[in-house]
């Protein structure tokens, strides 16, 4: 059994692998439940029975089950990478353009934007992520390349890339995202051309990664902002804590409260069916199962994380 002491990596990897094996058995009745995202046509083709689960510790140990090495569309999980990049660039000025409160609304809702003067509730819903991408579009000559390079670097994997079919599909059908962009532009809160910013946004969402790659890529958030493999600092310790706080309070959209109740880990989901969860000071867990709840979060993925925390006691509370 694991110790509840925070920050202690006193587990052994064989035990962790057994726990993942048990979860894989118990999760079977949940796989395939829910609805694969179909508002982005290219995501409709994904096999709903896929399931992958991977854990990577800050000591570099790994355990995985199922389709953990198969790449999928990371979608909104990309919002954490771009937020990391933008916090390094914009610092406090960023928070004049986007808030830090949960929205209580769907991830792609427009309703709050009018009464709140084009300032999105937080950087992890779509509108907030557009502001972050706008900051990166101003900062980099080639923002799409800068984003994918950043992700390749933290994942230590050069082959990570955009799924261009998904990016195209999302651009062709992304009227709601474009509407949000133009609406915020009317308040002066998008500085670049909306189509340019949204093209970057659609591409960042269309990056394909596996559970194993995502678990590795997010290790800096479990390790005070430092890449454990090289000792390189990605982002300041205080900003790491802030990103984890934002993930805990805003990372799962309008079911963030239910998710914190059941799982209790800073997490970010995407409509591709992935969820990444951070155990600060210890490890990253990534799960993938494409069937989604009403709120756009993976159903079997949420259940698997709940089982993981029950079996290991690794929730932050
Ligand atoms: N690309 C998706 C969108 O903008 C991302 C949403 C998500 O993963 N929740 O609608």
Say if ligand 1 is within 6 A of residue 297 CB.
no
Domain boundaries, the chain: 13-75+209-227+245-312, 76-205
Over residues 276-300, the mean pLDDT reads 96
Does the domain formed by 76-205 have CATH 3.40.710.10? yes
CA of 13 from ligand 1 middle (Å) equals 34
Q: What is the mean pLDDT of residues 242-252?
A: 97
Determine whether the shortest distance from the Cβ of 170 to ligand 1 is under 6 A.
yes
Tell me if residue 201 is catalytic. Answer: yes
pLDDT given at position 10:
56
Report residue 183 as tokens.
Answer: 């609406």
Which superfamily, per CATH, for 13-75+209-227+245-312? DD-peptidase/beta-lactamase superfamily (3.40.710.10)
At 47-57, the pLDDT tens digits run: 999 999 999 99
Judge whether 13-75+209-227+245-312 and 76-205 match in fold.
yes
Could you confirm whether 79 is annotated as catalytic? yes
Q: Is 277 a catalytic residue?
A: no
Query: What distance in angstroms lies between residue 76's CA and the mean position of ligand 1's atoms?
Result: 5
Q: Is 24 a catalytic residue?
A: no
The residue from 154, 200, 256, 271 that is catalytic is 271
Which tens digit of pLDDT belongs to each residue from 64-82? 999 999 999 999 999 999 9
Entry pTM: 0.96
pLDDT in tens, 8-54: 555 678 899 999 999 999 999 999 999 999 999 999 999 999 999 99
Annotated catalytic residue 298: no
Find out whether the beta carbon of 205 lies less than 6 Å from any atom of ligand 1.
yes
pLDDT recorded at residue 11: 65
**Candidate list 253, 263, 287, 309, residue with the active-site label:** 253
- Whether ligand 1 lies within 6 angstroms of the CB of 107 is answered as yes
> How much is the pLDDT for 109?
87
First to last CA, the chain: 17
Find, among 179, 136, 163, 160, the residue nearest to 272 by Cα. 163
Out of 54, 64, 73, 76, pick the active-site residue: 76
Which residue is closest in CA terms to ligand 1's atom 10? 108
How many other C-beta atoms are found inside a 10 Å radius of the C-beta of residue 24?
A: 18
- Expressed in angstroms and rounded, the spacing between residue 201 Cα and the centre of ligand 1 is 9
């Amino acid at each position: 059994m694991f110790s509840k002491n925070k920050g202690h990596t006193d587990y052994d990897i064989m035990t962790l692998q057994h726990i993942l094996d048990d979860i894989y058995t118990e999760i079977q009745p949940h796989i395939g439940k829910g609805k694969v995202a179909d508002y982005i046509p290219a995501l409709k083709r994904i096999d709903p029975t896929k399931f992958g689960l991977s854990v990577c510790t800050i000591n570099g140990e790994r355990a995985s089950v199922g389709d953990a090495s198969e790449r999928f569309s990371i979608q909104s999980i990309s919002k954490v990478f771009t937020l990391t990049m933008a916090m390094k660039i914009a610092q406090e000025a960023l928070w004049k353009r986007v808030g830090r409160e949960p929205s209580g609304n769907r991830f792609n809702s427009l309703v709050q934007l009018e009464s709140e003067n084009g300032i999105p509730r937080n950087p992890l819903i779509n509108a907030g992520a557009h502001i972050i991408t706008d900051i990166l579009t101003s900062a980099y000559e080639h923002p799409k390349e800068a984003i994918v390079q950043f992700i390749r670097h933290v994942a230590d994997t050069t082959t990570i890339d955009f799924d261009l079919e998904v990016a195209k599909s999302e651009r062709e059908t992304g009227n709601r995202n474009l509407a949000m962009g133009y609406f915020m532009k009317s308040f002066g809160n998008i500085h670049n051309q909306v189509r340019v910013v949204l093209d970057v946004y659609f591409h960042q969402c269309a990056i394909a990664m596996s559970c194993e790659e995502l678990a590795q890529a997010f290790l800096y958030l479990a390790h005070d902002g430092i890449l454990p493999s090289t000792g390189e600092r990605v982002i300041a310790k205080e900003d790491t804590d802030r990103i984890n706080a934002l993930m805990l309070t805003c990372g799962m959209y309008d079911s963030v409260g239910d998710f914190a109740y059941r799982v209790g880990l800073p997490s970010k989901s995407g409509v591709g069916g992935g969820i990444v969860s951070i155990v600060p000071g210890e490890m990253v867990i990534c799960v993938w199962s494409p069937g989604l709840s009403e709120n756009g979060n993976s159903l079997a993925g949420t259940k698997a994380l709940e089982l993981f925390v029950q079996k290991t006691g690794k929730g932050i509370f």
